[in-house]
Structure 1
Amino acid sequence: MATHWIITDIDGCLTPEESVPWDLDGFWEFAHISRAASAGAHPVAPFILCTGRPQPYVECLMKLLDIRSPAICENGAVIYTLHDNHARYGPGVTEEKILALREVRAFIETDLLPQRPECIMQFGKEAQLSVYSEQPQVFPALMEDIAVFNQRQGGPELLINATHFYINISLAGIDKGNAIRAVAAELGLPSSAFTGIGDTVGDLAIQKNVRFFACPANAQEAVLHRADYVAPHPQVRGVLDILQHPEFQRS
């Protein structure tokens, strides 16, 4: 069956999640493939970026990689198209929910982060929150504190989960999966037209909405068990291996 698009996560797949230099040789090899795929000059299908990163970060990568599809940012809370420089909220995001999320952010910044100097709020997000730390062992306690505060405030239901180095706080029902379905509807394609790549539990929303799902060797345990194919290498080197699999070819 032909693959029309490959939906891929960014952190932990194309680039490291932690704040370190990229594998530049591996990334540029991927960039050349992506540019050729977008131009219809490569056997690999073109890409859709699907990430927790904010729109400005994604915009930069879209320009580097010549991504021509809508991109999914902030774990589905924002959808962005480069050709018209248009960003919009994903399905289910409302002004009321955003205002409640801002209260959660204020609590994190004023009550939690002063006690946790090893944790940093990620700037640039509109409808989702992320806290970064190179000491993820502190995440369970922080996640519990955030959940208790939101419940006490009568806030909207939240989805709070952790990647390798981030806590992501999302509005429940607003995730990569819903955004993927919205983009697929815009493109007029069924889930069988897509394959996917991811590395963390948040990317299982990709896995549920594609025909075939692969992950690099650094993927979280839950993802390794659900993947149709696991690459022998981590991060972008693993993605380059994945792209050789027949399921990621145009036909």
Structure 2
Amino acid sequence: MATHLITGAGSGIGAAVARRLHARGDDLVLLARDAGRAKELAGEFPGARTLVGDLADPDRLSWAFSHQTLPDRLDSLLHIAGVVDLGRIGDLTPKTWRLQLDVNLVAPAELTRHFLPQLRLERGHVLFVNSGAGLNAHAEWGAYAASKHGLKALADSLRWEEKPNGVRVTSVYPGRTASPMQVKVHQQEGKEYDASKWIDVESVATTVLTALDLPRDAEVTDLTVRPGG
């Protein structure tokens, strides 16, 4: 039975992945931003453990974890949480930049640092749910794309560094996915939202599990998922 630490399990892709892993009997450790959210996640996923830590404040993650019991072993660390706030470069404030960089890039780096010892012991897997914006940047996506381009660099560097320790590293780049984040994006774009046009979260979850379940003789490094039809 594998143990997975998941960020973003409360909605969208993260919730879909957590449901699939929970249904097959794997152990889950779910990161929540506060105690209230942790209680909600524990109710949604009976038997799962929770950790409290705010990804928007990565400087305090170490302090937060020092007051909690961390898992002794981990087979995977799944970075799925993320935030997006669109805007033209000429209009974006430092606060907007920092939030997206902290949640989407600095916090994943800090979480990885904390849990690498457990992952090395199990020859585990670090998986980053990135974005199509991690490969291409378009108008008004500058801050978000910068955070996701940085996340790609983090994953690529980590892969080289941890290869001798047997830790596998995967980046998944979904296109537009039918999720609460996509609803927000459409609101910011002033467009009507139609979930049927975009990737179902279950399809992205299937992609994530495919990478996790690949036999040890191979490693998926990068997977791009695009809306079909």
Flag the structure with more relative contact order, 1 or 2, with Cα contacts below 8 A and sequence separation at least 6: 1
- Higher relative helix content: 2
TM-score, normalising length: structure 1: 0.40
Q: Which has the larger radius of gyration?
A: 1
TM-score, normalising length: structure 2: 0.43
